[in-house]
A and B are shown apart, each in its own frame.
Chain A
Amino acid sequence: MENIITIDEQMIPFKTGQTIMDAAMEAGVYIPHLCHNPEFEPHGSCRVCVVKVNGRMMSSCTTKATAGQKIENNTPELQENRRCLTQMLFVEGNHVCPGCEKSGNCQLQAVAYYTEMLSPRFQHFYPYRELDPTHPDVIIDFNRCILCELCVRASRDIDQKNIFAMSGRGIKAHLIINSPTGKLGDTDLNVNDKAVQVCPVGAIIKRKQGYMNPIGERFYDQAPIDEMGDIAEPHAGAKHHD
């Protein structure tokens, strides 16, 4: 059988070994996602990319494409699930988009727009989280971390520094920093490290950039995320992990 899957009735070719997400990205079909970045091993944790494969819910970033799969992607049911997941992410942290310098360049915000999130729906947790401002060039705002582990993967696999890690389980899971003090200032993080570039939200920010990017010229000012793709995309045109 030919290497073809259908996503919402559209025939999509794939290469053996590719995931559904890889095939979709290559064909320019947008499947919403937050923890996925084609340059890294799939993680499958945010669940935003869940699609229905032959009637079963599967995360598209971890499911291999196999010939003949019938995949539902842009359906009211799946969009509702994604909206719900996005809402949970918003209430779990402290996301004050109007004051956030990542606004307009943020994938979480862009997915919220894409899934038509109009309200937080759930009660806010309002967790108390302090910033880590100890590094001279980078600040971490844990209020905005969505636990995608992209910085963990980038620091471990590309920067070879292992600066970030996860700690705790379930609702207590949180990002930690591998240093004697637990502070970023005591690591050898460099502002040009991959880990700093991959954050899809405003959790890892470079100092002194702030709002230099004016409204109208921000990434998602140009078009919605289903047209623009990921802001944290590693290099232009990357459509699958190597």
Chain B
Amino acid sequence: MSALETAVSKDGLKRVVIEPVTRVEGHGKVTLLVDEQHQIQQARLHIVEFRGFEKFIQGRPYWEIPVLVQRLCGICPVSHHLAAAKAVDQIVGVKQLTATSNNLRRLMHFGQTLQSHAVHFFHLASPDLLFGFNDDVSHRHILSVIAEHPEIGMQGIQLRKYGQEVIKAIAGKRVHGNAAVPGGMNKALSKEDHAFLLKDIDQIIAWSQGAVDLIKKVHLNNRQFHYDFARIETNMLSMIREDGALELYHGGLRARKPNGETIFDHLDYCNYFNVIHEEVRPWSYMKFPFIVSEGTEKGWYRVGPLARVNNCDFISTPKAEQERQIFKELEQGKPVQSSLAYHWARMIEALHSAESIKELLLDERTMGNDLVTTGEKQFEGIGVIEAPRGTLFHHYQIDDNDLITKANLIVSTTNNNQAMNESIRQVANQYLSGRELTEGLLNHIEVAIRAYDPCLSCATHALGKMPLLVEIVDEQGEQLDSLYKNSQGDISRA
């Protein structure tokens, strides 16, 4: 853990606030404490929202949960929908879905992973990657990408749209539909929707491949920089298929040390609470999970595309597997620890999602009508899934009357809490310390956060509308300086 988590003494330090952090999902802020020599003494990422889902679903009937909790997020509601549905399957005593329901849930999940990864890469991250972190802020956004690289901008929009069409075909709506019910699904895939999706899938795979090629080029063109930027050496946690393949919907848990050594493997996720605990720190609403056997100091870990592509032994679809092998060469087969490699791993997963969508569309079981399985009621259910941003845990208990009595959610971004904090401290040390702060330098902090694609509130994101205020105040709270960016991207010094 970095010494920059808490300054030794706050005397004489200036406080710099980046709020809100832009081009991430939801609201967060970064505070920096800076001394007179411009040395950074403390850096923290705060999640300023508090949403209380765990509390307000108490007392509701369990079958409502998959529909209620998906409202946690406007970007990847399907993840919450499916994680909750898996927990509810356990509550109704269903261990095995029908092949059709299983395929439909997977299809929906791949649709969502594709669209979420596309949004992040093209809409949120590509301005930094294509124009540079120091590019003028009034230029560094998706509209410039569309203007100057129209084909890339268009592909991003189309990939996202396709992923959403997959979701809509299954859940009735692109965002916040309903599909999963206790023990299965509520609707078969129609022939029309199937034909509609199949028609474009080869193009989608080609564009996904193009996205991998693009990020690979960007990364390798500036290899050392990408290696160093916000680099931290961490444990990695992800779901894994029985045979060691990359798995996003259902499998055991695998955790590895920074050097790749196994901490646990194929662990039944119903025992997650024995291996993962959450630490509360007074300065943040977001908890800090850690792997129990490694302790709080060393037990924190990363989840999401980087962890998954690092942790798996192979990827089941050919194009993505080929890309994984190239990716793994980056650090000679050892776990890739470069934070900016998240972008690369994310696009490998987008490609895998597109390939998997095709496989599922060609699998005739997907078109079946046998949708719901029943079983014997249980009083507890745990659902775990690999959401686009990482491992997502839903855990519920119910009473005799079928009402929820207890809920525990560990969302993907929470798993990355410590890692994001460590990454910004790394950047603060590397780029900001000793220098006068500029918007471009502060953007370096945001770039580090953005690599994780955090969903800070699991809320919809108004792209380009998010103003940014950076204030420098002295210890009396007196404002010394401030930079303000309005929703048009104009910067002024207040």
The residues of A with any CB-CB pair to B shorter than 8 Å are: 96, 98-99, 101, 130-131, 133-134, 139, 207-208, 210-217
Q: Residues of A contacting B173 with CB < 8 Å?
A: 215
- Determine if B177 and A215 form an interchain contact, defined as CB atoms under 8 angstroms apart: yes
New contact pairs (6) apart from A101-B67, A211-B63, A216-B187, CB-CB < 8 Å: A96-B68, A98-B67, A211-B181, A214-B172, A214-B178, A214-B186
- Determine if B71 and A99 form an interchain contact, defined as CB atoms under 8 angstroms apart: yes
Q: Residues of A contacting B401 with CB < 8 Å?
A: 133-134
CB of B318 within 8 Å of the partner chain: no
- Determine if B64 and A99 form an interchain contact, defined as CB atoms under 8 angstroms apart: yes
- Determine if A210 and B171 form an interchain contact, defined as CB atoms under 8 angstroms apart: no
CB of B176 within 8 Å of the partner chain: yes
Q: Residues of A contacting B64 with CB < 8 Å?
A: 99, 101, 210
Q: Produce 1/0 per residue, B173-184, CB < 8 A to A.
A: 100111101100
Q: List 29 A-B contacts (CB under 8 A).
A: A98-B67, A98-B176, A99-B64, A99-B67, A130-B59, A131-B61, A131-B403, A133-B61, A133-B401, A133-B402, A133-B403, A208-B182, A210-B61, A210-B64, A210-B181, A210-B182, A211-B63, A211-B178, A211-B186, A213-B186, A214-B178, A214-B179, A214-B186, A215-B172, A215-B173, A215-B177, A215-B178, A216-B187, A217-B187
Inter-chain CA distance A208–B67, complex, in Å, is 14
Inter-chain CA distance A215–B182, complex, in Å, is 16
Q: Residues of A contacting B182 with CB < 8 Å?
A: 208, 210
Inter-chain CA distance A214–B188, complex, in Å, is 10
Q: Residues of B contacting A101 with CB < 8 Å?
A: 63-64, 67
Contact residue among B59, B178, B187, B402 (Cβ-Cβ distance under 8 Å from A207): B402
Most B Cβ at <10 Å: residue of A130, A134, A208, A214: A214
Of residues 383 through 407 on chain B, the ones whose CB sits less than 8 Å from some CB of chain A are: 401-403
10 closest A-B pairs (Cβ-Cβ)?
A: A215-B172, A133-B401, A210-B63, A214-B187, A99-B68, A211-B178, A214-B186, A216-B172, A212-B186, A99-B67
Inter-chain CA distance A99–B182, complex, in Å, is 15
- Name the residue on B nearest A209 (C-beta): B63
- Name the residue on A nearest B170 (C-beta): A214
- Determine if A215 and B171 form an interchain contact, defined as CB atoms under 8 angstroms apart: yes
Contact residue among B63, B71, B172, B403 (Cβ-Cβ distance under 8 Å from A208): B63
- Name the residue on A nearest B371 (C-beta): A212
- Name the residue on A nearest B401 (C-beta): A133
Q: For the complex formed, measure the closest distance between the CB of A174 and the CB atoms of chain B, giving whole angstroms.
A: 18
Inter-chain CA distance A208–B62, complex, in Å, is 10
Q: For the complex formed, measure the closest distance between the CB of B379 and the CB atoms of chain A, giving whole angstroms.
A: 14
Inter-chain CA distance A217–B178, complex, in Å, is 12
Inter-chain CA distance A214–B187, complex, in Å, is 6
Inter-chain CA distance A7–B63, complex, in Å, is 45
Inter-chain CA distance A99–B59, complex, in Å, is 14
Contact residue among B59, B66, B176, B181 (Cβ-Cβ distance under 8 Å from A131): B59
Most A Cβ at <10 Å: residue of B178, B181, B402: B178
Of residues 284 through 311 on chain B, the ones whose CB sits less than 8 Å from some CB of chain A are: none
Q: Residues of A contacting B186 with CB < 8 Å?
A: 211-214
Inter-chain CA distance A63–B193, complex, in Å, is 50
Q: Residues of A contacting B179 with CB < 8 Å?
A: 214
Using A134-B401, A215-B171 as known contacts, say yes or no to A139 and B178 having CB atoms under 8 A apart. Answer: no
Q: For the complex formed, measure the closest distance between the CB of B228 and the CB atoms of chain A, giving whole angstroms.
A: 45
Q: Residues of B contacting A131 with CB < 8 Å?
A: 59-61, 403
- Name the residue on A nearest B56 (C-beta): A96
